[in-house]
Amino acid sequence: MGWFDGWFGSDNSGSDPLRRLDPKLREYLEKESPVKYNTPTPQPPQPPQQAQQEKQQQQQQQKQSPSDTTPQPQQQQQQQHEPPAVPPQSLYPDGRYAHLWKTYRPLSAIEAETKTDNEKLTDVLEAFKERKAEIGRAALENCAEEQFDWSACMKSGSWTARMTMCRDEVRRFERCYNAQSRLLKALGYLSVHGRDPAVDEEIQMRADELFHRMLAQEREVEKAREEGRAVPVFKPLLEGKTEVAGPAGAVTSPGAYEPSEAIVASWKEKLAKLPPEDREAEEKALRAEHRAKAELAAQVQNLWQEQAKKREARKAEGKETIMDRFSALAGSWSGPKST
């Protein structure tokens, strides 16, 4: 019955599986078995008083040495404020080869210091061109649906539509692209270099939202005219003056680069040729474009002033070059004058 007791677990004291064997057989198995079995020795249970005393001693030790547990948050804060041993470019963030990274400098910082004046000027102009190209790409993304309809019409449209080169679809796409470009410029899309891309993405989504709101308002106006009702009046899409963060992170209003009276007059002539619903966005887009050009001119002016200071410093040290003399002569004839 001992085997059945072991199977069904009726024996609760079965800590020694060899206890029921014959002593001689048990001795033989202990000698010949490759696996040595050590019989566990039962430990007497602790009296309740002794267990309670040990628990009290542990509690007293924890109370007497609170410094072992409390400074952990402080140590974590100190580790967070301490600069990393190695820059993020290292493949070993645990601090290995930290002595090799002490003099490390990013390639972009080194290139910025070694660039010539001509290269700096080229970077400013290229950044302005890239900004305009990015505005066009963002407008195309917002007009993806209209572009798809135009493409589908050219591939599988009706015979009449293809005979007219899908004129209606082309007009809808052009209207979307022009309106989206105006709204993106007016809202300050990519107006700050190095800004968080999430901000420009929000501006792109806002421009798309305003465009579809404008289309919904136009449909309501047409429906009211067809039904002979009064034309509803809507709030302007772009209320107030848009504030744009400057290059240094400061916020500057559009009034910082006010256009001249001649420029405003040319704008009025251009706005008069547009539909009334497009004039507001176009005016703010023109102002944003004028502000971007004024900032570009200010950056170029600063570069010219820096070049002039370097030439004066070399001249004072007696290290003036032929190019310095030529640049000074050309600047005296047609160089930009500071206002």
pLDDT in tens, 293-330: 888 888 888 888 888 888 788 878 877 777 777 666 66
pLDDT band of residue 183 (cuts 50, 70, 90) is very high
CA distance from start to end of the chain: 111
**Residues 6 or more apart whose Cβ sits within 8 Å of residue 263:** 290
Share of the chain above pLDDT 90, in %: 22
- Looking from the CA of 125 toward its CB, the CA atoms found within 13 Å total 9
- Token pair, residue 190, equals 């990519």
Q: What is the mean pLDDT of residues 172-181?
A: 94
* DSSP code, position 238: S
pLDDT value of position 248: 38
Q: Where are the domains of the chain?
A: 117-232+277-332
Three-class SS state of 275: coil
Q: Lowest-confidence range among 211-220, 281-290, 305-314?
A: 305-314
pLDDT value of position 149: 93
pLDDT of 29 higher than 80: no
Strands annotated E in the chain = 244-245, 251-252
Do 314 and 321 touch, CB atoms closer than 8 A?
yes
pLDDT of 245 higher than 50: no
- Token pair, residue 268, equals 């009025």
Cα 263 to Cα 178, 243, 258, distances in angstroms: 21, 21, 10
**Residues 6 or more apart whose Cβ sits within 8 Å of residue 306:** 117
* DSSP code, position 306: H
- Token pair, residue 217, equals 């308002």
Q: Lowest-confidence range among 71-75, 144-148, 184-188, 270-274?
A: 71-75
Which residue carries 């005016």 as its tokens?
Answer: 283
Q: What is the mean pLDDT of residues 91-100?
A: 75
C-beta atoms surrounding 208 within 10 Å:
19
Task: Locate all alpha helices (DSSP H) within 143-189, ordered by sequence.
Answer: 144-156, 159-163, 167-186
pLDDT, the chain, mean: 75
pLDDT band of residue 251 (cuts 50, 70, 90) is very low
pLDDT of 132 higher than 50: yes
pTM (2 decimals)?
0.57
Residue 186 CA, chain-centre distance (Å), reads 21
Three-class SS state of 244: strand
Q: How many angstroms separate the CA atoms of 216 and 220, rounded?
A: 6
Q: What is the mean pLDDT of residues 147-175?
A: 91
pLDDT value of position 157: 86
Do 211 and 179 touch, CB atoms closer than 8 A?
yes
Cα 75 to Cα 83, 137, 146, 166, distances in angstroms: 14, 49, 58, 69
pLDDT value of position 327: 66
Q: What is the DSSP string of 33-96?
A: -SS--PPPPPPPPPPHHHHHHHHHHHHHHHHH-GGGTTHHHHHHHHHHHSPPSS-TT-S-TTST
Which residue carries 């007293």 as its tokens?
Answer: 60
pLDDT value of position 207: 94
pLDDT value of position 146: 94
pLDDT value of position 144: 95
pLDDT value of position 206: 94
Q: Lowest-confidence range among 90-94, 211-215, 309-313?
A: 90-94
Position 272, amino acid: A
pLDDT of 66 higher than 50: no
pLDDT band of residue 53 (cuts 50, 70, 90) is low
- Token pair, residue 234, equals 């809507």
Three-class SS state of 252: strand
pLDDT value of position 330: 60
Do 277 and 319 touch, CB atoms closer than 8 A?
no
Of the candidates 193, 317, 298, the residue with the CA atom closest to the CA atom of residue 245: 193
Three-class SS state of 98: helix
pLDDT of 224 higher than 80: yes
pLDDT value of position 36: 56
Name the residue with higher pLDDT: 108 or 232: 232
Q: What is the mean pLDDT of residues 132-147?
A: 94
Of the candidates 63, 16, 12, the residue with the CA atom closest to the CA atom of residue 40: 16
- Looking from the CA of 313 toward its CB, the CA atoms found within 13 Å total 6
Share of the chain above pLDDT 70, in %: 63
pLDDT value of position 2: 47
Of the candidates 185, 210, 182, the residue with the CA atom closest to the CA atom of residue 200: 185
Q: What is the mean pLDDT of residues 201-213?
A: 94
